[in-house]
Chains A and B, each alone.
Chain A
């Protein structure tokens, strides 16, 4: 498993071409389509990063908004005094550190507690930032003035998505990735073959959180004016879960399959029926959980396996006890 298979090389070349093609978009359009593409890329990055952790562990994290907001604030607080790339690194560190603390505190708990804890965490961080701002400054928000334009943000998000994909792929080939697959299959077995299950999950949560923090940092110049309510918007957390689940979290590229149609649809709905947005979100969440528990890609995979086995049928139909 150290050399590349032919399939991996083809996927790699295809991926590079797809990213290169996408990167040309600003040359064609600088208006509506670019802004839509920024949203798609943003959620592609967020959902893929989320899936790095939640896919193999099946822990549903609602902490996305907390990590994202920390990244945004890292930029907003010091954009006038420090160079932007350094602040992006700060965002990654802050979000990663928070993920580490939260992971150490909660990943020994069962999944249900984890969901609630992460939701509470995002809210807590938002309240703390709001309080700090009210206490130590007189302003409600922070201005972020840079000469970064929409297309620069797009390119940065695109590069981030590529890095997340590459990281995910490297993790899958590593001991950590193998450990996560074993944990996903049977945690008791995992412990008995010598895997420090808690540590593996924490490491993955840190990586995932750090990437989300970077996404938040990159987006700060786009918003221009940063307030706790927008930077730590809980809606971000929910949307990420919905889109990732819609696409399917078993494969690295699964979430993207959910992100592209969902962001386009969301754009359509918010323009025309903005009042119905929460309802539409709730309904789509229920629909996904009930109709597509493994996402679109999971369903496709199922169909493909069925097709394959029908093709190679009718050999053994023996099943295990």
Chain B
């Protein structure tokens, strides 16, 4: 079995009285594609925020390749090799697509600059299906293309762990197919990925394992098909979600 890439143990985040992530533990092995699912408001994005450093955990430990990262600044965690996309797509509106992607390569642990960074940016744009569109202003792109740019930016840092927050949300059926194939390809290349997703078909076809959260608590974990048929998981979804 591969070594553990990311280890989350008893991570907790409280917003005042609301415990958004309640002592959640799980681990991701190198090269694994882990699905993180759960009804709306169950704490998935907050969990990713704790890993990426956007938020500091109230308590608990998170380790990347064995080294503790919980509570570090987001930029430090990024430099150690965690990259992410955002639930509501975040591109750099004043820049071209290629510059957006370059941003991921320049400051992370890769630290490319100049021609090298530009070259990588164009290469990655091609990977995500935007060949030859590098010089377009990103603000003039469609939603799915912006999502592609954001993914390319995350990949530009050559992350140890890639976090995708509902990267497939908002895509139409044909775009969805392309999106799933792209993630599958990344995973096939050995990337370690945690994907938060509501699209169950994607989880079924892509993930090795999944973790299910509900109201901040991890309620199930394991192989995808047995987890999704777990009565407690079914109840959590039927109780307050439509997925």
Contacts and interface: CB of A to CB of B under 8 A. Distances in A.
A14 to B, nearest CB: 25
A127 B90 CA distance: 46
A319 B146 CA distance: 11
B52 to A, nearest CB: 6
A185 interface: yes
Contact of B107 (A175, A186, A188): A175
A270 B94 CA distance: 40
Interface stretch (A115-123, A135-143, A189-197, A214-222): A189-197
A191 B92 contact: no
B94 A192 contact: no
A321 interface: yes
Interface residues of A, number: 25
A2 B115 contact: yes
Interface string B156-175: 01000000000000100000
A195 B111 CA distance: 11
A193 B43 CA distance: 23
A200 to B, nearest CB: 10
A319 B75 contact: no
Interface in A271-321: 316, 318-321
A4 to B, nearest CB: 13
A175 B114 CA distance: 9
B73 A194 contact: no
Given A175-B113, A320-B140, A193 B108 contact: yes
B92 A185 contact: yes
B107 A194 contact: yes
Interface string B62-75: 00000000000111
A27 interface: no
Interface residues of B, number: 38
Contact of A1 (B54, B83, B95, B118): B118
Interface string B129-155: 000000000111111001000000100
A45 interface: no
Contacts of A2: 114-115
B176 interface: no
Contacts of A251: none
A207 B157 CA distance: 29
B218 interface: no
Nearest to B115: A2
B151 to A, nearest CB: 13
B75 A196 contact: yes
Closest 9 CB pairs of A and B: A194-B107, A194-B78, A185-B92, A321-B143, A191-B74, A194-B108, A194-B79, A191-B75, A195-B107
13 contacts: A2-B115, A178-B106, A179-B106, A182-B103, A186-B91, A186-B92, A188-B74, A191-B73, A191-B78, A192-B83, A194-B78, A320-B138, A320-B141
